[in-house]
Amino acid sequence: MRILITGGAGFIGSHVVRLFLKKYPKYYIYNLDALTYAGNLENLHDVENVLNYTFIKGDITNESFVLKLFDKYQFDAVIHLAAESHVDRSILDPLSFVKTNVLGTINLLNAFKNCHNGNYDRKLFYHISTDEVYGSLGLTGLFKETTAYQPNSPYSASKASSDHFVRAYGETYGLPYLISNCSNNYGSNQFPEKLIPLFINNILQKKQLPVYGDGNYTRDWLYVEDHAIAIDLIFHKGKAKETYNIGGLNEWKNIDLVKLLCDKMDKRLNLDFGSSRNLITYVKDRPGHDLRYAIDASKIKEELGWSPLVTFHEGLEKTIDWYLNNKDWVDNVTSGKYQEYYKKQYNN
Protein backbone atom coordinates (compact mmCIF):
# COMPACT_ATOMS: atom_id res chain seq x y z
CA MET A 1 0.00 0.00 0.00
CA ARG A 2 1.30 3.44 -0.98
CA ILE A 3 0.22 5.96 1.66
CA LEU A 4 0.62 9.72 1.39
CA ILE A 5 0.80 11.46 4.77
CA THR A 6 0.52 15.22 4.42
CA GLY A 7 2.09 17.40 7.09
CA GLY A 8 4.21 14.47 8.19
CA ALA A 9 7.07 16.65 9.41
CA GLY A 10 4.78 18.50 11.81
CA PHE A 11 3.84 17.74 15.39
CA ILE A 12 1.08 15.14 15.05
CA GLY A 13 2.15 14.09 11.56
CA SER A 14 5.65 13.05 12.62
CA HIS A 15 4.23 10.76 15.29
CA VAL A 16 1.87 9.18 12.75
CA VAL A 17 4.68 8.70 10.20
CA ARG A 18 6.89 7.05 12.82
CA LEU A 19 4.12 4.74 14.01
CA PHE A 20 3.22 3.57 10.49
CA LEU A 21 6.86 3.05 9.48
CA LYS A 22 7.59 0.92 12.52
CA LYS A 23 4.31 -1.01 12.57
CA TYR A 24 3.77 -1.61 8.84
CA PRO A 25 7.08 -2.37 7.08
CA LYS A 26 5.19 -3.61 3.99
CA TYR A 27 3.55 -0.21 3.48
CA TYR A 28 5.37 2.53 1.61
CA ILE A 29 5.03 5.88 3.36
CA TYR A 30 5.38 9.16 1.47
CA ASN A 31 5.64 12.24 3.67
CA LEU A 32 4.58 15.48 1.97
CA ASP A 33 5.38 18.64 3.90
CA ALA A 34 6.03 22.26 2.91
CA LEU A 35 8.42 22.68 5.87
CA THR A 36 6.90 25.94 7.03
CA TYR A 37 7.73 27.20 10.53
CA ALA A 38 5.94 24.24 12.22
CA GLY A 39 7.31 21.50 9.95
CA ASN A 40 10.72 20.20 10.89
CA LEU A 41 12.60 17.20 9.52
CA GLU A 42 14.45 16.96 12.83
CA ASN A 43 11.19 15.46 14.11
CA LEU A 44 11.93 12.36 11.99
CA HIS A 45 15.71 12.07 12.07
CA ASP A 46 15.44 8.60 13.64
CA VAL A 47 13.48 7.15 10.70
CA GLU A 48 14.73 9.22 7.75
CA ASN A 49 16.75 6.32 6.32
CA VAL A 50 14.07 3.65 6.64
CA LEU A 51 13.72 1.83 3.30
CA ASN A 52 9.95 2.17 2.99
CA TYR A 53 9.98 5.95 3.48
CA THR A 54 10.25 8.92 1.14
CA PHE A 55 10.10 12.59 2.06
CA ILE A 56 8.69 15.02 -0.51
CA LYS A 57 8.95 18.77 -0.01
CA GLY A 58 5.96 20.51 -1.49
CA ASP A 59 2.94 22.70 -0.90
CA ILE A 60 -0.61 21.34 -1.10
CA THR A 61 -1.82 24.78 -2.22
CA ASN A 62 0.05 24.26 -5.52
CA GLU A 63 -2.59 22.54 -7.65
CA SER A 64 -0.37 21.45 -10.55
CA PHE A 65 2.28 20.09 -8.19
CA VAL A 66 -0.30 18.00 -6.30
CA LEU A 67 -1.83 16.62 -9.51
CA LYS A 68 1.59 15.62 -10.85
CA LEU A 69 2.50 14.01 -7.53
CA PHE A 70 -0.56 11.74 -7.55
CA ASP A 71 -0.02 10.93 -11.22
CA LYS A 72 3.56 9.89 -10.46
CA TYR A 73 3.05 7.83 -7.30
CA GLN A 74 -0.58 6.62 -7.61
CA PHE A 75 -1.22 6.76 -3.88
CA ASP A 76 -3.66 4.17 -2.55
CA ALA A 77 -4.51 6.22 0.52
CA VAL A 78 -4.10 9.69 1.95
CA ILE A 79 -3.83 10.60 5.63
CA HIS A 80 -4.31 14.36 5.51
CA LEU A 81 -2.80 16.24 8.45
CA ALA A 82 -1.25 19.26 6.73
CA ALA A 83 -2.90 22.40 8.08
CA GLU A 84 -2.46 25.80 9.55
CA SER A 85 -3.63 25.13 13.09
CA HIS A 86 -3.06 28.03 15.48
CA VAL A 87 -6.11 30.14 16.34
CA ASP A 88 -4.06 33.24 17.18
CA ARG A 89 -2.33 33.18 13.80
CA SER A 90 -5.68 32.76 12.05
CA ILE A 91 -6.96 35.95 13.66
CA LEU A 92 -3.96 37.85 12.31
CA ASP A 93 -3.95 36.24 8.85
CA PRO A 94 -7.21 34.42 7.94
CA LEU A 95 -6.39 34.10 4.24
CA SER A 96 -3.41 31.82 4.87
CA PHE A 97 -5.76 29.43 6.65
CA VAL A 98 -8.23 29.48 3.75
CA LYS A 99 -5.44 28.73 1.28
CA THR A 100 -3.91 25.82 3.18
CA ASN A 101 -6.87 24.29 4.98
CA VAL A 102 -9.57 24.76 2.34
CA LEU A 103 -7.90 25.09 -1.07
CA GLY A 104 -5.12 22.69 -0.10
CA THR A 105 -7.64 20.04 0.92
CA ILE A 106 -9.62 20.53 -2.31
CA ASN A 107 -6.42 20.11 -4.34
CA LEU A 108 -5.77 16.80 -2.61
CA LEU A 109 -9.37 15.64 -3.12
CA ASN A 110 -9.27 16.50 -6.82
CA ALA A 111 -5.93 14.77 -7.30
CA PHE A 112 -7.14 11.66 -5.45
CA LYS A 113 -10.35 11.60 -7.52
CA ASN A 114 -8.56 12.10 -10.84
CA CYS A 115 -5.89 9.55 -9.98
CA HIS A 116 -8.36 6.71 -9.40
CA ASN A 117 -11.08 7.78 -11.85
CA GLY A 118 -13.92 6.19 -9.87
CA ASN A 119 -12.08 2.92 -9.12
CA TYR A 120 -11.84 3.19 -5.35
CA ASP A 121 -11.35 -0.46 -4.41
CA ARG A 122 -9.05 -0.56 -1.33
CA LYS A 123 -8.61 3.21 -1.52
CA LEU A 124 -9.14 5.78 1.26
CA PHE A 125 -8.95 9.52 1.92
CA TYR A 126 -8.63 10.09 5.68
CA HIS A 127 -9.00 13.70 6.81
CA ILE A 128 -7.86 14.74 10.31
CA SER A 129 -9.77 17.68 11.77
CA THR A 130 -10.39 19.40 15.11
CA ASP A 131 -13.07 19.64 17.80
CA GLU A 132 -13.06 23.41 17.32
CA VAL A 133 -15.39 23.07 14.32
CA TYR A 134 -18.21 22.45 16.79
CA GLY A 135 -17.84 25.86 18.41
CA SER A 136 -18.09 26.44 22.14
CA LEU A 137 -19.70 24.38 24.88
CA GLY A 138 -21.26 25.77 28.03
CA LEU A 139 -20.42 24.37 31.44
CA THR A 140 -22.05 21.04 30.60
CA GLY A 141 -22.35 18.75 27.59
CA LEU A 142 -19.94 17.05 25.19
CA PHE A 143 -19.19 17.24 21.48
CA LYS A 144 -20.62 14.25 19.64
CA GLU A 145 -20.06 13.30 16.01
CA THR A 146 -23.60 14.57 15.36
CA THR A 147 -23.05 17.98 17.00
CA ALA A 148 -23.85 20.81 14.61
CA TYR A 149 -20.89 22.84 13.35
CA GLN A 150 -20.57 26.37 14.70
CA PRO A 151 -16.96 27.53 14.23
CA ASN A 152 -16.02 30.80 15.92
CA SER A 153 -12.48 31.53 14.66
CA PRO A 154 -11.00 31.77 11.17
CA TYR A 155 -9.01 28.62 11.97
CA SER A 156 -12.03 26.54 12.99
CA ALA A 157 -14.07 27.95 10.09
CA SER A 158 -11.38 26.85 7.64
CA LYS A 159 -11.29 23.36 9.15
CA ALA A 160 -15.09 23.14 9.13
CA SER A 161 -15.06 24.07 5.46
CA SER A 162 -12.49 21.39 4.65
CA ASP A 163 -14.56 18.79 6.54
CA HIS A 164 -17.60 19.73 4.45
CA PHE A 165 -15.66 19.44 1.21
CA VAL A 166 -14.41 15.97 2.13
CA ARG A 167 -17.98 14.83 2.82
CA ALA A 168 -19.23 16.52 -0.35
CA TYR A 169 -16.67 14.65 -2.48
CA GLY A 170 -17.80 11.44 -0.83
CA GLU A 171 -21.44 12.07 -1.68
CA THR A 172 -20.92 13.66 -5.10
CA TYR A 173 -18.10 11.55 -6.51
CA GLY A 174 -18.28 8.42 -4.36
CA LEU A 175 -14.84 9.13 -2.91
CA PRO A 176 -14.20 6.86 0.13
CA TYR A 177 -13.39 9.01 3.14
CA LEU A 178 -13.03 9.06 6.90
CA ILE A 179 -12.90 12.10 9.18
CA SER A 180 -11.74 12.40 12.76
CA ASN A 181 -12.04 15.41 15.04
CA CYS A 182 -9.59 15.55 17.92
CA SER A 183 -9.14 17.61 21.07
CA ASN A 184 -6.02 19.58 22.05
CA ASN A 185 -2.87 17.52 21.52
CA TYR A 186 0.29 17.76 23.60
CA GLY A 187 3.59 15.88 23.70
CA SER A 188 7.04 15.92 22.15
CA ASN A 189 7.98 17.87 19.00
CA GLN A 190 5.17 20.43 19.29
CA PHE A 191 6.10 23.87 18.02
CA PRO A 192 6.39 26.25 20.99
CA GLU A 193 3.53 28.53 20.06
CA LYS A 194 1.00 26.17 21.67
CA LEU A 195 0.33 26.48 25.39
CA ILE A 196 2.31 23.64 26.99
CA PRO A 197 5.61 23.89 25.06
CA LEU A 198 5.36 27.70 25.04
CA PHE A 199 5.12 27.84 28.81
CA ILE A 200 7.83 25.23 29.37
CA ASN A 201 10.13 27.32 27.20
CA ASN A 202 9.12 30.57 28.90
CA ILE A 203 9.72 29.14 32.37
CA LEU A 204 13.20 28.05 31.30
CA GLN A 205 13.86 31.60 30.07
CA LYS A 206 12.14 33.22 33.08
CA LYS A 207 9.74 34.98 30.72
CA GLN A 208 6.13 35.86 31.47
CA LEU A 209 3.42 33.21 31.04
CA PRO A 210 0.63 35.01 29.12
CA VAL A 211 -2.81 33.70 30.13
CA TYR A 212 -5.80 34.96 28.15
CA GLY A 213 -8.65 36.64 30.04
CA ASP A 214 -9.39 35.09 33.44
CA GLY A 215 -7.82 31.75 32.50
CA ASN A 216 -11.05 29.82 32.98
CA TYR A 217 -11.31 28.57 29.40
CA THR A 218 -11.53 24.78 29.46
CA ARG A 219 -9.91 22.31 27.07
CA ASP A 220 -9.74 18.53 26.72
CA TRP A 221 -6.12 17.35 26.41
CA LEU A 222 -4.97 14.34 24.37
CA TYR A 223 -1.45 12.88 24.43
CA VAL A 224 -0.14 12.87 20.86
CA GLU A 225 0.96 9.22 20.88
CA ASP A 226 -2.55 8.19 21.93
CA HIS A 227 -3.84 10.25 19.01
CA ALA A 228 -1.50 8.47 16.58
CA ILE A 229 -2.79 5.10 17.81
CA ALA A 230 -6.37 6.29 17.26
CA ILE A 231 -5.52 7.41 13.72
CA ASP A 232 -4.03 3.98 13.02
CA LEU A 233 -7.20 2.26 14.25
CA ILE A 234 -9.55 4.53 12.32
CA PHE A 235 -7.49 4.15 9.15
CA HIS A 236 -7.60 0.36 9.28
CA LYS A 237 -10.93 -0.37 10.96
CA GLY A 238 -13.11 2.73 10.65
CA LYS A 239 -16.34 2.54 8.68
CA ALA A 240 -16.29 4.40 5.37
CA LYS A 241 -17.94 7.81 5.31
CA GLU A 242 -17.97 7.98 9.10
CA THR A 243 -16.65 10.55 11.56
CA TYR A 244 -14.89 9.66 14.81
CA ASN A 245 -14.26 12.04 17.70
CA ILE A 246 -10.96 11.50 19.53
CA GLY A 247 -10.73 12.98 23.02
CA GLY A 248 -8.44 12.64 26.00
CA LEU A 249 -11.32 12.47 28.52
CA ASN A 250 -9.24 15.02 30.35
CA GLU A 251 -10.67 18.51 30.87
CA TRP A 252 -8.60 21.29 32.42
CA LYS A 253 -9.20 24.98 32.88
CA ASN A 254 -6.28 26.86 31.34
CA ILE A 255 -5.23 28.49 34.60
CA ASP A 256 -5.32 25.19 36.50
CA LEU A 257 -3.22 23.53 33.82
CA VAL A 258 -0.72 26.39 33.86
CA LYS A 259 -0.38 26.19 37.65
CA LEU A 260 0.12 22.42 37.48
CA LEU A 261 2.76 22.86 34.80
CA CYS A 262 4.49 25.55 36.89
CA ASP A 263 4.61 23.28 39.93
CA LYS A 264 6.00 20.36 37.93
CA MET A 265 8.64 22.61 36.39
CA ASP A 266 9.62 23.96 39.81
CA LYS A 267 10.12 20.42 41.06
CA ARG A 268 11.99 19.33 37.93
CA LEU A 269 14.30 22.38 38.01
CA ASN A 270 14.76 22.32 41.81
CA LEU A 271 13.19 25.76 42.17
CA ASP A 272 11.34 27.07 45.22
CA PHE A 273 7.66 26.16 45.10
CA GLY A 274 5.72 28.99 43.48
CA SER A 275 8.68 30.40 41.54
CA SER A 276 7.17 29.66 38.14
CA ARG A 277 3.68 30.73 39.20
CA ASN A 278 5.09 34.22 39.74
CA LEU A 279 5.59 34.42 35.96
CA ILE A 280 1.84 34.09 35.24
CA THR A 281 0.53 37.27 33.59
CA TYR A 282 -3.06 37.80 32.50
CA VAL A 283 -3.32 39.40 29.06
CA LYS A 284 -6.14 40.83 26.98
CA ASP A 285 -8.50 38.10 25.82
CA ARG A 286 -8.51 37.12 22.17
CA PRO A 287 -11.61 37.71 20.01
CA GLY A 288 -14.14 34.88 19.71
CA HIS A 289 -12.52 32.83 22.46
CA ASP A 290 -14.47 29.57 22.93
CA LEU A 291 -15.32 28.86 26.56
CA ARG A 292 -15.04 25.09 26.62
CA TYR A 293 -14.27 22.05 24.45
CA ALA A 294 -14.99 18.50 25.57
CA ILE A 295 -15.34 15.36 23.46
CA ASP A 296 -17.60 12.35 23.79
CA ALA A 297 -15.25 9.59 22.58
CA SER A 298 -17.70 6.73 23.18
CA LYS A 299 -18.09 5.92 19.47
CA ILE A 300 -14.41 5.17 18.84
CA LYS A 301 -14.26 3.21 22.09
CA GLU A 302 -17.32 1.09 21.33
CA GLU A 303 -16.61 0.50 17.62
CA LEU A 304 -12.81 0.32 17.55
CA GLY A 305 -11.81 -0.36 21.16
CA TRP A 306 -9.75 2.82 21.57
CA SER A 307 -9.28 4.77 24.76
CA PRO A 308 -6.36 6.90 25.99
CA LEU A 309 -3.49 4.91 27.46
CA VAL A 310 -1.47 7.76 28.96
CA THR A 311 -2.76 9.68 31.98
CA PHE A 312 -2.41 13.44 31.87
CA HIS A 313 0.08 13.60 34.74
CA GLU A 314 2.19 10.90 33.09
CA GLY A 315 1.96 12.57 29.69
CA LEU A 316 2.82 15.98 31.09
CA GLU A 317 5.89 14.55 32.87
CA LYS A 318 7.02 12.90 29.63
CA THR A 319 6.47 16.13 27.73
CA ILE A 320 8.43 18.23 30.22
CA ASP A 321 11.29 15.73 30.18
CA TRP A 322 11.40 15.75 26.39
CA TYR A 323 11.66 19.55 26.14
CA LEU A 324 14.27 19.72 28.87
CA ASN A 325 16.32 17.05 27.11
CA ASN A 326 15.93 18.62 23.65
CA LYS A 327 16.72 22.30 24.18
CA ASP A 328 18.67 22.39 20.91
CA TRP A 329 15.49 21.40 19.04
CA VAL A 330 13.60 24.28 20.66
CA ASP A 331 16.39 26.74 19.85
CA ASN A 332 16.45 25.62 16.22
CA VAL A 333 12.71 25.99 15.63
CA THR A 334 12.20 29.31 17.41
CA SER A 335 13.40 31.51 14.60
CA GLY A 336 13.46 35.29 14.43
CA LYS A 337 10.24 35.22 12.43
CA TYR A 338 8.50 33.41 15.26
CA GLN A 339 9.81 35.93 17.78
CA GLU A 340 8.29 38.77 15.74
CA TYR A 341 4.91 37.03 15.75
CA TYR A 342 5.15 36.38 19.49
CA LYS A 343 5.76 40.05 20.29
CA LYS A 344 2.88 41.15 18.07
CA GLN A 345 0.47 38.66 19.66
CA TYR A 346 1.18 39.04 23.38
CA ASN A 347 2.61 42.52 23.97
CA ASN A 348 -0.55 44.33 24.96
Catalytic residues: 131-132, 155
Residues whose CB falls within 8 Å of the CB of residue 160, separated by 6 or more in sequence, listed in order: 133, 149, 151
Strand, coil or helix: what is 121? coil
Q: How far apart are CA 243 and CA 139, in angstroms?
A: 24
Q: What are phi and psi of 181, to 5 degrees?
A: -120, 120
Q: Do residues 145 and 195 lie in contact, with contact meaning Cβ atoms separated by under 8 Å?
A: no
Q: How far apart are CA 200 and CA 319, in angstroms?
A: 9
Q: How far apart are CA 220 and CA 240, in angstroms?
A: 26
CA dihedral 55, 183, 130, 155 (to 10 degrees): -100
Residues whose CB falls within 8 Å of the CB of residue 5, separated by 6 or more in sequence, listed in order: 13, 16, 17, 20, 29, 30, 31, 32, 78, 79, 81
Strand, coil or helix: what is 28? strand
- For residue 176, the tally of other CB atoms under 10 A from its CB is 18
Q: How far apart are CA 48 and CA 44, in angstroms?
A: 6
Q: How far apart are CA 76 and CA 87, in angstroms?
A: 32
174: alpha, beta or left, given left = phi > 0 and alpha = psi -120 to 50? Answer: left
Residues whose CB falls within 8 Å of the CB of residue 167, separated by 6 or more in sequence, listed in order: 177, 179, 241
Among residues 212, 185, 221, 218, the alpha carbon closest in space to that of 85 is found at 185
